[in-house]
């Protein structure tokens, strides 16, 4: 009669395969619960101590798989960290794909744990059989029941992307404001040349009219040769010289009038003649001054926005082209500052023009005024404005690239 076989069962219960959890920045390793069931069919019951040693053999195999999961998770976390140096929705999707692939790979690897444990236990059985004869003809069956989880992406990824998205939105808002200010400035400058020409033409016309008006005023007084030799390009000096001559002139020439009366009549006539032209010059000056003031205000705002964006860009080291965009913003700010320095000179010049017009425009000579007109041409800001607008264009292109990369 065949001897009855005895089946001895035991279970190695592993609450969590990855008992030594690595410190990860972006990932969370789930619990991998495993129940390793061992059945030994032999001629008699297998002692518990021998079953424990068979479970130890199975546990050694499980530790190997624990190491595999831990090392894979550490490598994956490092790859994710490198990828998220430039946080974006696209990179977030790539992280999700990488994690899904890694989870599948680990789960597939764990399918090999059961045959690997079977091999290890069988090897241990043979070793135990040298001491325990009932194990010599014994059969071992190993079954692993898994409760598998999935590697989770930590909240850091979503937070990075959300923060980056908010920052990029902020950058886009600022650069939109910078571009708008640039367009306003461009529009503002469209009539800059016309305003300067109006003032220049007005001053030139005034000089010509002033000279002829004084000449006519003297001729109206019928003073003979007293008006000869006067330098009418220096009206104040010319009138002063005429007054000196009048004081020494005979009654035949002055017709009994005193020098003060004659001088007053000359000034009255000359002033009346140039008055309308003076108003035109002043109107042109005021228009140009107001234009200058408005341009300075717009340029100031542009510089402030560019500075704000530059600081944000320089601190955004994780964004593609962030530092480069910050440097370009500084170019906008620098170009705007240079432009405003020239505008400040123009503003001061326009105050000088106002002084030129003092005393009905009869107190300053032609040479000084002509020098002012030449200076006016040097105060155009078109070259500086082009530098500002070109720099704004570069900033916009870089920020557009940043927005695209972050989307």
Q: Higher-confidence residue: 352 or 368? A: 352
Average pLDDT, stretch 192-201?
Answer: 79
Structure tokens of 200? 């220049």
Q: Report whether 216 contacts 269 (CB < 8 A).
A: yes
Q: How far apart are CA 378 and CA 342, in angstroms?
A: 9
pLDDT at 9 over 90: yes
pLDDT of residue 16: 92
pLDDT at 61 over 80: yes
Confidence of residue 394 (pLDDT cuts 50, 70, 90): confident
Average pLDDT, stretch 189-218?
Answer: 76
Neighbours of 371 (CB within 10 A): 11
pLDDT of residue 382: 67
* Average pLDDT for the chain: 78
The answer to whether the predicted template modeling score (pTM) of the entire model surpasses 0.85 is no
- Backbone phi and psi for residue 111, each to the nearest 5 degrees, phi listed first: -65, -25
pLDDT digits (tens, 9 = 90+) for 283-335: 888 887 888 888 888 888 888 877 877 777 666 555 555 667 777 777 778 87
pLDDT digits (tens, 9 = 90+) for 15-48: 999 988 889 888 888 899 999 999 999 999 999 9
> For residue 11, with 0-12 CB atoms within 10 Å meaning exposed, 13-18 middle and 19 or more buried, which class applies?
middle
Average pLDDT, stretch 141-146?
Answer: 93
Confidence of residue 155 (pLDDT cuts 50, 70, 90): confident
Q: How far apart are CA 156 and CA 354, in angstroms?
A: 64
- Distance in Å from the first CA to the final CA of the chain: 79
Q: Where are the beta strands (DSSP E) in 53-197?
A: 139-147, 152-153
pLDDT at 69 over 80: yes
Q: How far apart are CA 362 and CA 296, in angstroms?
A: 32
pLDDT digits (tens, 9 = 90+) for 166-177: 556 666 777 777
DSSP 332-363: HHHHHHHHHHHHHHHHHHHHHHHHHTGGGGTS
The residue extents of the domains of the chain are 6-153, 164-406
pLDDT of residue 1: 47
- Would you put residue 361 in left (φ > 0), alpha (ψ -120 to 50) or beta? left
């Amino acid at each position: 009669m065949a001897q009855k076989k005895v089946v001895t069962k035991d279970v190695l219960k592993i609450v969590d395969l990855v008992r030594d959890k690595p410190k990860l920045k972006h990932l969370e390793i789930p619990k991998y619960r495993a129940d390793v069931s061992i059945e030994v069919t032999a001629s008699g019951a297998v002692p518990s101590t021998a079953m424990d040693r068979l479970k130890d053999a199975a546990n050694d195999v499980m530790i190997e798989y624990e190491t595999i999961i831990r090392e894979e998770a550490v490598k994956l976390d490092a790859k994710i960290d490198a990828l998220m140096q430039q946080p974006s929705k696209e990179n977030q999707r790539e992280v999700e794909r990488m994690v899904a692939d890694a989870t599948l790979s680990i789960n597939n690897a764990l399918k090999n744990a059961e045959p690997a444990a079977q091999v290890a236990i069988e090897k241990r059985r043979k070793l135990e059989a040298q001491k325990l004869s009932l194990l010599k003809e014994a059969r071992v069956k190993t079954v692993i029941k898994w409760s598998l989880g999935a590697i989770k992406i930590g909240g850091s990824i979503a937070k990075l992307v959300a923060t980056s998205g908010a920052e990029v939105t902020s950058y886009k808002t600022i650069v939109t404001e910078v571009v708008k200010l640039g367009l306003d400035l461009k529009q503002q400058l469209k009539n800059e040349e016309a305003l300067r020409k109006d003032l220049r033409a007005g001053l030139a016309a005034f000089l010509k009219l002033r000279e002829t008006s004084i000449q006519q005023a003297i001729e109206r007084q019928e003073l003979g040769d007293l008006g000869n030799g006067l330098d009418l390009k220096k009206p104040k000096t010319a009138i002063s010289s005429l007054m000196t001559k009048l004081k020494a002139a005979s009654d035949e020439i002055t017709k009994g009038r005193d020098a003060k009366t004659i001088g007053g009549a000359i000034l009255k006539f000359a002033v009346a003649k140039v008055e309308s032209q003076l108003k035109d010059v002043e109107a042109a000056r005021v228009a140009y001054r107001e234009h200058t003031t408005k341009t300075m205000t717009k340029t100031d705002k542009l510089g402030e926005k560019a500075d704000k964006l530059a600081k944000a860009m320089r601190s955004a080291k994780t964004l593609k082209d962030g530092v480069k965009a910050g440097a370009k913003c500084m170019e906008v700010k620098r170009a705007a500052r240079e432009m405003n320095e020239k505008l400040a000179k123009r503003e001061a010049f326009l105050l000088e023009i106002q002084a030129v017009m003092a005393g009905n425009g009869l107190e300053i000579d032609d040479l000084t005024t002509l020098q002012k007109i030449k200076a006016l041409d040097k105060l155009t800001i078109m070259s500086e404005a082009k530098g500002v607008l070109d720099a704004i264009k570069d900033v916009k292109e870089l920020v557009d690239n940043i927005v695209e990369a972050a989307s």
